Amino acid sequence: MDHRRLLRSSALALAATGLLLSGCTGPGTGDRASAAPAGGSGQGARSSPSAELKPFYGQKLSWRKCGTSGFQCATLKAPLDYGAPGGETIELAVARKKATGPGSRLGSLHVNPGGPGGSAVGFLQSYAALGYPAPVRARYDMVAMDPRGVARSEPVECLDGKAMDAHTQVDQTPDTAPDASAFHTALKNFAAGCEKKSGKVLPHVSTANTARDMDIFRAALGDTRLTYVGASYGTFLGTIYAELFPARTGRLVLDGAMDPSLSARQLNLDQTEGFETAFRSFAEDCVAREDCPLGRTSVKAAGQHLKKFFTDLDQRPVPTGQSRELGESLATTGVLAAMYDEAAWPRLRAALSAAMDGRGEALLALADAYYERDPDGTYSNLMFANAAVNCLDAPPAFSREAEMHTALPDFERVSPVFGRNFAWAALNCTYWPTPATGTPHRVTADGAPPILVVGTTRDPATPYKWSRALASQLSSGRLLTYDGDGHTAYGRGSDCVDTAINTYLLEGEAPQDGKRCR
């Protein structure tokens, strides 16, 4: 069972596979009451924090050595409920790697890899602080905060490894009444597990609250403005920060952007189309190669071949060399995982060839990397936090199965290969135990300095039209387009993209709106 709308940078998504690539409130109404309206004004945009929040803004971080050489970690305190900041607190994991020089220090550069649910601290330690361009690392302290409910920051927990294994194998394209019943039972059990294990934090893990946490972190670091690179879902976090705190917004790079004005249903539909676009690009490349497992005739025929392969697996899973077999659900997830970056295409061709020959271990490995499942059967909390944040940030795509069936033809129209899977997966928030506190709306962030929005034309997870939409909504938005494949653009091989972003971060000069790179 795959909770779709997993929006993250490919560098983190496939790190576990060795492909380190260069991407629903409960008790009380406090969080809802303190959320900023669509115009971006309200309590969050005050020039100084309220009296109740001043202790949080004035805290001093106790840094300690952690991880590999050069990294420091600390714990940041924030209100659990911003509507009642004098009540319980939440502890958030933060990390930094100081600027290496030469050159004068420019401040702190916050990074977030997306998700929601991706560990920003893990991303910093495994990639950003080592893989970001040297001139940027020389001038900035590289910093990260695991969002509330994620990884080291009081993580949302839902299912143990054995139960999660079963969950990921549930038929996501039910053909019979018993299959549909099992699908709904899986969604209910997942939601119930989250409520049982993490009921205290579930109402408070919204993106708006994480943006407020990020402003406290900014203040604790001594920065007057936030400098930030957010990828995928991280662009939504950065957008909401700019809406809440336009006067404290500095140089923001939003790479692989989300459109905050879209409903959950439209987001799911657009992402379905995005993955179809990415698959067509993969298929066009594949059919021209001798080792293509989907035939060598046409893109359309390749899609039909893959769809038949999924259907056959639904009836006859193939062995993987372990207790789990490769069925339709895990195979689909494995294919989708490889759509995040074209560098994974050779591996996908080999994995599909092996699976079609009765050996499913390679395609299963791609699915496990997507789910962040370790060989010992344990999972990170990525998928748990992903559902918790998504289901809180917007009302569910569908409130009942009948609504999904009405929309199903649209999903199948935009993606003959994946449409049915995505439509059923969009039911993931239907049974969520805490009601949504967020509402889709346009964000202008009036008063913020130029904000750089980066879009990739054939991005599967964050379709290019979302970047165009966000850049047009933001009063100071500048759109940088990468004409290419894969999820996100910074640090993935385009000198044109990297130079434009580096110049913006180091010199404050945003590229001309509409600049295109290939």
pLDDT, one tens digit per residue, over 102-139 is: 999 999 999 999 999 999 999 999 999 888 999 999 99
Cβ distance 338 to 321 under 8 Å? no
pLDDT, one tens digit per residue, over 219-262 is: 999 999 999 999 999 999 999 999 999 999 999 999 999 999 99
Please, which pLDDT band fits residue 68 given cuts at 50, 70 and 90?
Answer: confident
Average pLDDT over residues 482-504: 96
Cβ distance 248 to 132 under 8 Å? no
| Lateral strand order in the sheet of 107-112 | 64-65, 71-79, 89-97, 140-145, 107-112, 226-231, 249-255, 451-458, 477-485, 515-517
Tokens of 513: 């709106």
pLDDT, one tens digit per residue, over 329-353 is: 999 999 999 999 999 999 999 999 9
Cβ distance 502 to 133 under 8 Å? yes
Average pLDDT over residues 37-66: 74
Strand partners, 14: none
d(CA 8, CA 127): 14
pLDDT on residue 8? 54
Residue 298 pLDDT more than 60? yes
Residue 20 pLDDT more than 50? no
Active-site annotation, residues = 232, 459, 487
Residue 356 pLDDT more than 50? yes
Which domains are delineated in the chain?
Answer: 1-28+95-518 (3.40.50.1820)
Cβ of 9: how many Cβ atoms within 10 Å?
Answer: 36
Q: Which residue in the block uniquely carries the two structure tokens 């060989």?
A: 375
The residue length of the chain stands at 518
Most distant CA pair in the chain, distance? 68
Average pLDDT over residues 320-334: 97
Strand partners, 253: 229, 452
Residue 434 pLDDT more than 50? yes
Cβ of 308: how many Cβ atoms within 10 Å?
Answer: 10
pLDDT on residue 7? 61
Please, which pLDDT band fits residue 47 given cuts at 50, 70 and 90?
Answer: low
Radius of gyration of the chain (CA): 22
Lowest mean pLDDT, pick from 38-42, 50-54, 212-216, 451-455:
38-42
Average pLDDT over residues 402-427: 97
pLDDT on residue 315? 95
Three-state secondary-structure class, residue 458? strand
Residue 93 pLDDT more than 80? yes
Residue 26 pLDDT more than 80? no
The predicted model scores a pTM of 0.92
pLDDT on residue 69? 85
Q: Which residue in the block uniquely carries the two structure tokens 């494995």?
A: 334
pLDDT, one tens digit per residue, over 173-191 is: 999 999 999 999 999 999 9
Mean pLDDT of the residues in the chain: 91
Nearest alpha carbon to residue 438 among 243, 192, 193, 178: 243
pLDDT on residue 441? 98
d(CA 170, CA 327): 9
pLDDT on residue 45? 43
Q: What 3 state SS string does 345-384 have?
A: HHHHHHHHHHHHCCCCHHHHHHHHHHHCECCCCCECCHHH
Residue 148 pLDDT more than 50? yes
pLDDT on residue 130? 86
Please, which pLDDT band fits residue 10 given cuts at 50, 70 and 90?
Answer: very low
What letter would DSSP give residue 125?
A: I
Strand partners, 7: 115
Tokens of 243: 């809406």
Average pLDDT over residues 87-115: 96
What percentage of the chain exceeds 90 in pLDDT?
89
pLDDT on residue 25? 26
d(CA 196, CA 398): 24
Task: State the burial class of residue 215 (Cβ atoms within 10 Å of its Cβ: 0-12, 13-18, 19+).
Answer: buried
List, in order, residues 6 or more apart from 21 with CB less than 8 Å away. Answer: 10, 11, 14, 340, 341, 343, 344, 486, 492
List, in order, residues 6 or more apart from 234 with CB less than 8 Å away. Answer: 9, 111, 112, 113, 114, 115, 118, 254, 255
User: Crossing angle for the helix pair 207-220 and 233-244, nearest 10 degrees?
Assistant: 70
Q: Using the CB atoms, write b or e for 182-192: b if 16+ within 10 Å.
A: ebeebbebbbe
Please state whether the peptide bond connecting residue 435 to the residue before it is cis, i.e. omega within 30 degrees of 0.
no
Cβ distance 304 to 363 under 8 Å? no
Beta strands in 348-507 (DSSP E): 451-458, 477-485
